[in-house]
């Protein structure tokens, strides 16, 4: 089954690939590697803001990370033109969290689980999940990725 068919079967509609918010590009391809800039969670055109450990739950954070993952896939589709030729190599997740919050991996699972759901075995990847005292625009999560294009 093609990745586009899988997205349809799962009822997943990818957002439009977002334009950069500053002086950078959304992705860079070198050879068969694609580096995608950090994607922030957006829903219905609005940023998803919040801080884990300060009234924002792990499940809320996981949902925000999934939104970041959807944006990553949208950027990859724009860059590659064919999601069937894509393998996910690495995700780096940043969690806006209080100093005592420690469930960063559970939050970033929202993006990781999505990659496996969409790409199957080619969605399994290396990963980092890091806490930060703040993120741009007050968003809850930011996720960047490295992909291989066959």
Here the CATH number for the domain that contains residue 98 is 3.30.1330.40
Identify whether the C-beta of residue 102 lies closer than 8 Å to the C-beta of residue 45.
Answer: no
- The single-letter DSSP state of residue 46 is E
Contact indicator for 91, 125 with CB cutoff of 8 Å:
yes
Q: Would you say residue 30 lies in a domain?
A: no
Asked if residue 17 belongs to a domain, the reply is no
- What does DSSP say about strands 33-39 and 27-30: parallel, antiparallel, or unpaired? antiparallel
- Quick check: is 118 in a domain? yes
Residue 42 belongs to a domain? yes
Q: Which domain holds residue 135?
A: 3-12+36-149
Stretch 132-137: mean pLDDT, rounded?
Answer: 96
**Is residue 51 assigned to a domain?**
yes
Q: How far is CA 41 from CA 7, 29, 66, in A?
A: 19, 23, 8
Provide the domain count of the chain.
1
> Is position 109 within any domain?
yes
pLDDT tens for each residue of 88-116: 999 999 999 999 999 999 999 999 999 99
What is the tens place of the pLDDT at every residue in 72-95? 999 999 999 999 999 999 999 999
> What is the value of pTM for the model shown?
0.97
């Amino acid at each position: 089954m093609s990745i586009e068919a899988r997205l349809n079967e799962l009822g997943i509609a990818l957002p439009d690939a977002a334009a950069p918010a500053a002086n950078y590009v959304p992705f860079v391809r070198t050879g068969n590697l694609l580096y995608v800039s950090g994607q922030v969670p957006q829903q219905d055109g609005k940023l998803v803001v919040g801080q884990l450990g300060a009234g924002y739950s792990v499940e809320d954070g996981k949902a925000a990370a999934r939104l970041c993952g959807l944006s990553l896939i949208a950027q990859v589709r724009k860059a590659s033109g064919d999601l069937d030729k894509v393998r996910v190599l690495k995700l780096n997740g940043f969690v806006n969290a209080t100093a005592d919050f420690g469930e960063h991996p559970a939050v970033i699972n929202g993006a990781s689980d999505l990659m496996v759901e969409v790409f199957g075995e080619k969605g399994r990847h290396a990963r980092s999940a890091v806490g930060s005292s703040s993120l741009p625009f007050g968003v809850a999560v930011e996720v960047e990725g490295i992909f291989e294009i066959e």
